[in-house]
Copies of this chain bind each other. A is one copy, B any other.
Amino acid sequence: MERNQGCLDCPARGKHLFCSMETSALEKFDSIGTLVQFGSGGVIFREGDNCGSVHVLCSGRVKLSATSREGRTLILKIARAGEVLGLSAALANQPYEVTAETVEPCRLKTIRRQALLDFLDRNPDASMRAARAVAQEYKAAFSEVRRLALPATASGRVAGLLLEWTREQAVPNTRQGRCTMTLTHEEIASMTATTRETVTRVLGQLKRDQLISIRGAALTVLQPQELERMAV
């Protein structure tokens, strides 16, 4: 498990868009990349850096964020295994738009930008997968825009985020509406364009109104339709 395994015998093989190529393509892909390990809090790349490589996240979670000169931080999302980090920057030939920072130990497959482009040129199937992967990225960015801009109030934006978490963490055979809250109030504030204190107050109010319940890191949405109404 700890040995430097390749994509072919990776436990995630076939589970993700980019890890589901046919054997020969995956073999080639495997050979042009390097497996890299990060501890918690490692910086994979920074906003504005030249996009030298793209990174396939094999395991672990990565925080993607952007910062303004004034120091305000916006967390876009927490990326999970299977996501391809920096792909859109590589394709658009632009610097990285975000900073990518591990929030737990991670394994990544790192590929030089040019090597990836060459690989995509020679593998039509892979380039379609790349296109689909970016389409996913787009979809996520778009729903971020929606969640930030449409709700009129801070509570609405927080409610929208909680709903998104329950949706993306939904596990079959489990009661609906559960998710694990691994972020601090400060970080939630950075995802909802508000402040730490407001997040504390909003979550407190939602608990008092019995719309959610929180036990440690386990959050349960009790009244999804009510949250929907706030989030709109």
Contacts and interface: CB of A to CB of B under 8 A. Distances in A.
A15 interface: no
Contact of A134 (B70, B134, B149, B232): B134
Nearest to A151: B68
A167 to B, nearest CB: 14
Interface stretch (A28-36, A107-115, A138-146, A212-220): A138-146
A146 B88 contact: no
Query: Which among A123, A127, A148, A152 has the highest number of chain B CB atoms within 10 Å?
Result: A127
B72 A150 contact: yes
Nearest to A194: B149
Nearest to A120: B128
Contact of A124 (B74, B121, B134, B149): B121
B148 A148 contact: yes
A68 B138 contact: no
Contact of A141 (B72, B94, B127, B141): B141
A51 to B, nearest CB: 11
Interface in A48-95: 66, 68-70, 72, 74, 76, 87-89, 91-92, 94
B141 A145 contact: yes
A104 interface: no
B127 A131 contact: yes
A97 B138 CA distance: 10
Nearest to A144: B145
Contacts of A132: 91-92
Contacts of A152: 70, 72
Nearest to A134: B134
10 contacts: A66-B146, A72-B150, A76-B145, A88-B135, A91-B131, A94-B139, A121-B128, A124-B127, A127-B131, A144-B145
* A-B pairs with lowest CB-CB distance, top 9: A131-B131, A91-B135, A124-B124, A141-B141, A88-B135, A92-B135, A149-B193, A68-B232, A134-B134
Interface of A: 66, 68-70, 72, 74, 76, 87-89, 91-92, 94, 97-98, 120-124, 127-128, 130-132, 134-139, 141-142, 144-146, 148-152, 193, 232
